[in-house]
Structure 1
Amino acid sequence: MFIPIHDDNPLKVISFQRVTVGLIIANVLTFLWQTSLAPGEMIAADQAFGVVPAALVGGLPDFGAFPEELALLTYMFLHADVWHLAGNMLFLWVLGDNVEDDLGHLRYLAFYLLCGVAAALLFSVLKPDSTVPLIGASGATSGLVAAYLMLHPRVRMWAVFVMRIPLYVPAWGVLGGWVAFQVVMVVADPGSPTAWWGHIGGFLAGLVLTPLLKRPGVPLFGRAPIRRMQDPAPR
């Protein structure tokens, strides 16, 4: 599996990726709150603020007073452990700034949250009997993978292959490899605790939403550069 760690893709419109940084801070602060809880309280928090498919679509009563519909938003800020958090935040950091640049701050935030919601919904529909809470930002960051593939496929990036081999290759190779891995795992490991279908749901949402939410003039598939806001107008 490929894990992106750095891209050669400077910002073109915005001066700072404040939504991306804000999301990372929110995820980290939520994780610190989780780690402050006793083990039993952590389980209760996951059940309350995570998405329980059996409660959302399977007809099972909610585990707590917090509505499952709101859990579609809160679940993506919870993480199982520090590695779960670190992996998702790495994807968010490497890919999110350029997607935020191409969509604009508010539309980017809406894009991120909608991809996370779509991920949870698809997973829940396909696993309606599951009582295990779905948590993590993977569905939302999977939408970023789709957006980056559609907007910057030829940008070169550093990535790590199978956790140990560094490579400097185009984004389509890194992120396309990631997509292929998700599809393989859905077939090969359907009983895994990893929500592979959630990843695919977030990715599919990203494919649909990117053309709708990108800034006017931002080309798909990196076909042509867009003019920077600070560039002088052509004479």
Structure 2
Amino acid sequence: MFLPIHDQNGLKYIKRAYVNYALIIANILVWIVMRREPVLEQNTLQMALGFIPGTVFAGDRLDASIVLVPTWANFVTYAFLHIDTMHIAVNMLFLWVFGDNIEDALGHVRYALFYLACATFGAFIHGLTDPASQLPLIGASGAVSGVLSAYVLLHPRVRIWALVLFGIPLPLPAFIPLLLWIGEQFYMLATDHSGMVSWGAHTGGIVAGAVLVIALKRRSVHLFDRATSTAEQPRE
């Protein structure tokens, strides 16, 4: 596990990562609204807006009194809910550090589609790993995992500052912590069946992010970019 602090990688094509900012703000606002509700109501909202595999793969149905959105919408809505402060803080930190460069490489609209598609595929793979589960999946981890896999394909040599080894800040090429993290997700998917963490959502997001960034990136953006930009140079 590592925590990113900063990446030395400015924007080349856009002035500001507006979609990434909007996603972070939306997650935080949903978190604030959820925290204002009683615990019982929070649990009900998690059931109504989280992704429950049994409702998709096993024909289960929620009580009509708590249904807020169609079942298909839960493939996306779950990604805006978080279980506690640490959960949302870590996800938003990763999104803040890495998401702007993916938006830069894809463009605003395609980045929004990319993010939601990674969340959707993460939920789908989570469902396949436990199709009869009636527990709601929540959190932006699937979508954020897609962002990380896209980043390592685009900017593996960019230097990032990260907290590693019990909180020691180190400057590292992005591919070192990111590939180790990605490898850990697949290893845990194969070995950890406790159900406490959805490794399926993580790995699903990773696969989706790797495929989609190749399909959606600007033509002028190259994979495994050796050059880094430390200052913003907007072109649109």
Give yes or no for contact 1:4–1:174 (8 Å, CA) kept in 2.
Answer: no
Matches within 5 A, 1:18-57: 18-57=18-57
The alpha-carbon distance between structure 1 residues 68 and 204, as it changes in their structure 2 partners (threshold 3 A), is: same
Q: Distance in 1 between matches of 2:166 and 2:214?
A: 32
Deviation at 1:223, TM superposition (A): 4.8
Equivalent positions of 1:81-100 (< 5 A) are: 81-100=84-103
- Shift of residue 186 of structure 1? 1.8
Deviation at 1:167, TM superposition (A): 1.5
- The RMSD of aligned alpha carbons is 1.5
SS in 2 for 1:221: coil
> What does the per-residue CA deviation read over 1:55-94, in whole Å, with 9 as the maximum and x for residues that have no partner?
1212111344232211111110000001000000011000
- Per the alignment, residue 193 of structure 1 pairs with 196
Distance 1:136 1:77 in 2: 6
Determine the C-alpha separation between the residues in 1 that align with 2:102 and 2:157.
15
State whether residues 80 and 135 of structure 1, in contact with CA within 8 Å, keep that contact through their aligned partners in structure 2.
Answer: yes
C-alpha separation in 1, matches of 2:166 and 2:104: 29
Aligned partners of 1:2 and 1:177 also within 8 Å: no
TM-score by length of 1: 0.93
SS class of match (1:10): coil
Give the Cα–Cα distance (whole angstroms) in 2 for the partners of residues 213 and 169 of structure 1: 27
**1:176 Cα deviation after fit:** 0.6
Which residue is 1:147 aligned to?
150
1:159 counterpart = 2:157: no
SS at match of 2:224: helix
User: Displacement, 1:225?
Assistant: 7.2
Q: Percent identity?
A: 44
Which structure's relative contact order is higher, taking Cα pairs within 8 Å and 6+ residues apart? 2
Give the Å deviation of 1:130. 1.0
**Separation in structure 2 between the aligned mates of residue 25 and residue 174 of structure 1, nearest angstrom:** 26
Report the Cα offset of residue 216 of structure 1.
1.1
Of residues 129, 133, 138, the one that matches 1:135 is 138
Relative to structure 2, which stretch is displaced further, 51-60 or 38-47?
51-60
User: What is the CA distance between 1:188 and its match in structure 2?
Assistant: 3.1
Pairing 1:73–2:76 present: yes
Q: Does 1:101 align with 2:104?
A: yes
- Contact 2:8/2:228 (<8 A) preserved: no
Q: What are structure 1's unaligned runs of at least 5 residues?
A: 231-235
How far off is 1:165 after superposition? 2.2
Output one character per residue of 1:22-52: Cα deviation in whole Å (capped at 9) or x when no partner: 1000000000011011111011000000000
TM-score (norm 2): 0.93
- Name the SS for the 1:169 alignment partner: strand
Structure 2 unaligned residues grouped into runs of 5+: none
Asked if the contact 1:79–1:135 (Cα under 8 Å) also holds between the matched residues in 2, the reply is yes
1:219 to 210, 217, 222: 222
Deviates more, 1:4-13 or 1:54-63: 54-63
